[in-house]
Amino acid sequence: MSGGSVFAGKELLIFDLDGTLVDSSPLHARAYVAALAPLGVPVDYERIAGMTTTEAIAQLLGEAQVDLAADARDALRRDKQQRALALIGDELEALPGAVDFVAEARRHHLPCALCTSASPPSVEAALRKTGMSGWFSPVITSADVSRGKPDPEGFLLAARHAGVAPDKALVFEDSESGLAAAAAAGMEAIRIGSEGTDWFEAIARLRQAR
């Protein structure tokens, strides 16, 4: 992130959830591994990060050449989501500085939206666990889109609900699929994580800009 100008002219901040605001990626990875282990299907979570559970399971089963009927796939999806939900309730933590950044943005009256490939129960549990319930509007989840990231549908839907042009939105993402979705939506994006910036630097830049 170079300089505070990245916030100039932005009317909406759109946040990914898993791996961006909360340290849930290891929990989702464990849930996938546990759910797919009986089928002998390996899980490389980095390759499916940002996908909906349905899309991720379809890709993993396809790569492993495991053919399941629709009802069996649906049961597998529910099993994974239930495992992830339990882990989130027990172990989830926000990434360092993430809650402080969103609180700072709200203090500066910057509208904040959420766009995640997670299911509504998972999102609700994560926000509740980290004290961010009610902080985002709109909240776009896997239930609201027909195509997950890297498709831009979710980001465009968030901007439309907020009444903001895509180029006036700024996205915070950690995954390659999320960054690709932001680019396809015509939105500038900031990468959060080891290959990008951290929330404390983002807070400093926001304060400089405002």
Q: What CATH number has the domain bearing residue 143? A: 3.40.50.1000
Q: Specify whether 37 is located in the same domain as 51.
A: yes
pLDDT at 90: 95
Residue range of the domain that includes 131: 4-24+93-209
pLDDT tens across 78-89, in order? Answer: 999 999 999 999
pLDDT band for 182, please (50, 70, 90 cuts). Answer: very high
C-beta separation of 84 from 28 below 8 A: yes
pLDDT tens across 56-115, in order? Answer: 999 999 999 999 999 999 999 999 999 999 999 999 999 999 999 999 999 999 999 999
pLDDT at 147: 92
pLDDT band for 3, please (50, 70, 90 cuts). Answer: very low
Q: Specify whether 55 is located in the same domain as 11.
A: no
Tell whether the model's pLDDT for residue 209 goes beyond 90: no
Last residue of a domain, one of 45, 73, 91: 91
Q: Specify whether 55 is located in the same domain as 15.
A: no
Last residue of a domain, one of 42, 63, 91: 91
- What is the average pLDDT across 38-44? 96
Q: Specify whether 70 is located in the same domain as 147.
A: no
Let me know if 18 is a catalytic residue. no
pTM: 0.86
Contacts of 160 (CB under 8 A, 6+ apart): none
**Average pLDDT in the chain:** 94
Q: Specify whether 99 is located in the same domain as 122.
A: yes
Q: What is the Rg, in whole angstroms, of the alpha carbon atoms belonging to the chain? A: 17
Instruction: Report the C-alpha gap between 210 and 207 in whole angstroms.
Output: 5
Tell whether the model's pLDDT for residue 184 goes beyond 60: yes
Give the burial class of 199: count Cβ atoms within 10 A of its Cβ; 0-12 exposed, 13-18 middle, 19 or more buried: buried
* Six token digits for residue 8: 């100039």
pLDDT at 51: 87
pLDDT at 195: 77
Q: Specify whether 112 is located in the same domain as 196.
A: yes
Last residue of a domain, one of 59, 91, 123: 91
Tell whether the model's pLDDT for residue 1 goes beyond 70: no
Contacts of 53 (CB under 8 A, 6+ apart): 77, 80, 81, 117, 119, 142
CA 14 to chain centre: 10
Q: Specify whether 102 is located in the same domain as 177.
A: yes
Q: Specify whether 188 is located in the same domain as 134.
A: yes
Q: Specify whether 177 is located in the same domain as 117.
A: yes
